[in-house]
Structure formats: C-alpha cells, structure tokens
A and B are shown apart, each in its own frame.
Chain A
Amino acid sequence: MDIVLSVQFKKAFAGGFSMDVSWQAAREIVVLFGPSGAGKSLTFQVIAGLVRPDEGHIQLGDKVFHDARAGIELPPQSRDIGYLFQHYALFPHMTTRENVLYGHRQPRSSEAAADFAAMLTRFHLEGLEQRYPAALSGGQRQRVALARALMRKPRVLLLDEPLSAVDLSVRRSIRNELRNLQRVLDIPMVIITHDLGEALALADRLVIYDHGRVVQSGTPDAIVQDPQNEIIAAWAGNTRLHGERTFSF
C-alpha cells in the first residue's frame, strides 16, 4: 500500500479528555467511524493545523505537517488540504461564485475563472453562481463547499459528516458522487461518520474510534468478520467479540 497521509499524535485536553491515535491513508476512501465525542473531528482539526497536538508525527506525501520532536508545526495555510466542515461553513455574505473563488490562490486570475467554470460543470452548479447560501438546498451547499475546497487543488480531502445535512433520498447518489470524486482526484479522502451503514458503504478502509483511541482499523470485510468493537459486533450479528469475550445484547 502506497501511504500518502500518515497520522499519529497524542493530545490531552483540559477537562480530562485525551487522544492517542494512529492511522494511515493511501489514495483511497478512509472512514473514521465512532460515537460522537470520540475525537474524530478533533483529528481533522489536528491534521488541518487548527489544533496543535502534544506529540506525534503527521505527514502528507513528503510534506511534514507536524513533528513534535523536530519542532515542526506547519501553519494551516500551507498544508494543502481540502476540509469540509460539518455544516459546510459557506460564507453567508458571499454568492456561490464568491465562495468558490475564495478558495483559489489567485482569485482574480484568468486561470481562476477557468477553474471556476470547470467546477460549475463538475458539481452541476450552473445557474446558481449569483445565489447566496441561504437560497441553496442542502445538497447544493455541499457541492459549493466541495468546489471551494477543490479550487486549491488539495492533496487530501477531509469531509466531516458530509451526509448528515442532506435528505435521505439523495444520500445514495451523493455517496456515489463521493466515490467517483475520489477516483477522479486520486488523493486520500477521509470521511467522518457515526452512521455505520454509511461507513461500510463508503470505506475502502475503516478506522474505528472510541474515547480518543483507535479501537480497530482495516477493510470493512475484515472488521465485520473479527469485530473488536461492540457496536460493529452487534451490527454484524457476531456474538464473539475479540477472542473469548462474549457479547450479548
């Protein structure tokens, strides 16, 4: 496996919560699954450089984002990541066009205009250029946010609960679009969800979080066959949980 993104860090927060996680991603979809409060979103913030870990090593390709021992902490502005927040975080005072161009390195260049036109087509946003986020549907907002994130040509895409704010009826098609997008971009795509069905449907690899730790990681098949987490064991109808421990409902 050709590792592109490697994440390993420890962080203690005020109030007693602590994190100690480690996982890798190749050019594939990695799903971070776990209950809310397990530290999935915090992991994204650490990768993005918004929260500084106590120790660890985070690297994307040959670019070291963070290395506590070497004293490296790259500012978030130079990390080349695409980050979709849970509610998309579109700027409410900007139109679709302004939002998407905001992501470009040279928003006024002719290159930016061409990139913007390409994004409009790719994400079916034609005709919505002058709309404000308040006048867009959940699915449209998500596509605007994706277009904005991709304007910077990121080398990894982090999506925090991308399906939670869209209707059930369009989830399946968005799932397919995300899979498609990952294949076209050919970069690691890391997706957070606390819906196990989504996790299994999307993931090339699954990383299971609980209480700030990685409980298990592997392909969905491998995890379902030998679950080390009660939620997954229950879902798989598997009564044997990690060796001799017996799981009951």
Chain B
Amino acid sequence: MEAILTAAKLSLWVSASATLLIALVGIVLAYFLARRNFRGKHLLDALISIPLVLPPTVVGYTLVVLFGREGWIGAPLYRLTGWSFVFTWQGAALAAFVVALPLMVRVSRAAIEAVDQDLINTSTVLGKSEWETVFKVVLPLARGGIMAGVLLAFARALGEFGATLMIAGNIPGKTSTLPLSIYSAFQGGDDALAQTLAIILTVISGTVIYLAGKWTSSRWI
C-alpha cells in the first residue's frame, strides 16, 4: 500500500512540476509561433515537435548526452554545483517536460491562431499595446485551448516512461513514477501490484484527458 502511495505521489509531483514549466514556456512559444514571423520559425517548430515522433529511447539518450554528468550542459553544471539531473526526480521532470511540451505548444498555438484577427486589430486601433492585447484579448479568448493543452501535457507527463528510465533510472521512492513502478512490479512477478498501479494510472489519466476534451469546447469560440 505504501509503495502505491509513494509512486502515485511521486508521479503527480514530477508531472505537476513539468507541467508548470510547460505551461509557462509553452504559452510563450505558442504565441510567437502563432502570431509572429521570424527566421528559423519552422526549425523551432520542428525542434519542439520532434519528441512526438522519436522513440522515447532516442529522447532519453539525447537527454543523457546533453544533461548527463559528462553531457554538454550537464558537465559544466556538475562542475559548478556538484549536482546533476541523472537519477533525480528533476531528471524525470526534465524527460516529462521535453516529451509533453509539443502537445501544449500545438494545442494552444491552434487556439491562439483561431482568435479573430479583427479583434486583435480593433484592440490595436483602440490604442492598446501588443502585450495589453495579448493579456486582455488573445489569452482570454484562447483560454479553452490553452487549458486543454496544459491538461494534455499533464496527462502525457504522467504516462512518460522510456526517456525517464534512461535519464532518471528506476529508483523506488526517488524516480520510480507510476509507469516505472508498474514495470518493476511486473518484472518482479507482483501481478497484483502491477494491476492496481495500472488501474490507478488509467483512472487519473482518463480523467485528465476527459477534462482536456471538455475544456477545448470553450464558451467563447
């Protein structure tokens, strides 16, 4: 029972942390991709989206190459702070972030693009700066899609397995999230535990996905 609770709490914590970061970064990326033209826009779009199509092992491997103790970013970080993403819950959150970010960006970008250009132009002609227009017109009207994006990203983060295993490992109580605990229980022959964990994960994720669908049918669009 305690193993279940530990894994569930860890899963929620890792996913919530990743989702918070995804929400902040994702809205900014979605806005710039939806409303601005700049050099390298399609490249940035592809870079964000590529974890959607790559196997999790490739994402995990790339994360180790970048953030591992010997990694391009990881090595200087380790030298400076003595800390590394490897085998930590932050590593699990990083994997969830990279894998779930494209869902947030795609869904909220579509919602931001769907805001009527006449409304944005009207706000501009009425003397409002771009940022005032963003906060008073664009984001409130894209609210449904943005919420749906956040929830989808959260659901994807909850289900993250492969990349997490590669960068954060499978340490009970530390990085063994629900999907990893299911794998351990199954490998260890504890079918009852695997089943219980699978049901819990399905119920949580199912609820989140259901809410995401409901939010998409926003009342303003």
> A residues near B, CB below 8 A?
45, 48, 50, 76-79, 81, 83, 85-87, 89, 91-93, 102-103, 105, 148-149, 152
Contact = CB atoms under 8 A, between A and B. Distances in A.
Interface in B114-150: 116, 118-119, 121-129, 136-137, 140-141
Contacts of A77: 124-125, 127-129
Contacts of B122: 83, 85, 89, 91
A-B pairs, top 10 by smallest CB distance, nearest first, are A89-B118, A89-B122, A85-B118, A83-B125, A77-B127, A76-B124, A103-B126, A92-B220, A93-B140, A93-B220
Contact of A152 (B119, B127, B129): B127
B125 A93 contact: no
A102 B121 CA distance: 13
- Determine the interface band of chain B, counting residues with CB < 8 A from chain A: 10 to 19
A148 B129 CA distance: 17
Interface in B137-183: 137, 140-141
A103 B127 CA distance: 8
Q: Is the interface of B mostly helix, strand, loop or mixed?
A: helix
Interface in B85-141: 116, 118-119, 121-129, 136-137, 140-141
A50 B125 contact: yes
A93 B141 contact: yes
15 contacts: A45-B121, A76-B124, A76-B125, A79-B125, A83-B121, A85-B121, A89-B116, A89-B119, A91-B122, A91-B123, A92-B141, A93-B140, A102-B123, A105-B127, A148-B126
Contact of B121 (A78, A89, A103): A89
B141 A81 contact: no
Interface of B: 116, 118-119, 121-129, 136-137, 140-141, 220
Contacts of B118: 85-87, 89
Contacts of A92: 141, 220
A91 B123 CA distance: 9
Contacts of B141: 91-93
Nearest to B121: A50
Given A45-B121, A76-B125, A102-B136, 19 more contacts: A48-B121, A48-B125, A50-B121, A50-B125, A77-B128, A81-B125, A83-B125, A85-B122, A87-B118, A89-B119, A89-B122, A91-B141, A92-B141, A92-B220, A93-B140, A93-B141, A102-B126, A152-B126, A152-B127
B136 to A, nearest CB: 8
Contacts of B121: 45, 48, 50, 83, 85, 89
The winner among B118, B122, B128, B141 for most chain A CB atoms within 10 A is B122
A98 to B, nearest CB: 10
A78 B141 CA distance: 25
A79 B125 CA distance: 8
Contacts of A87: 118
Contacts of B123: 91, 102
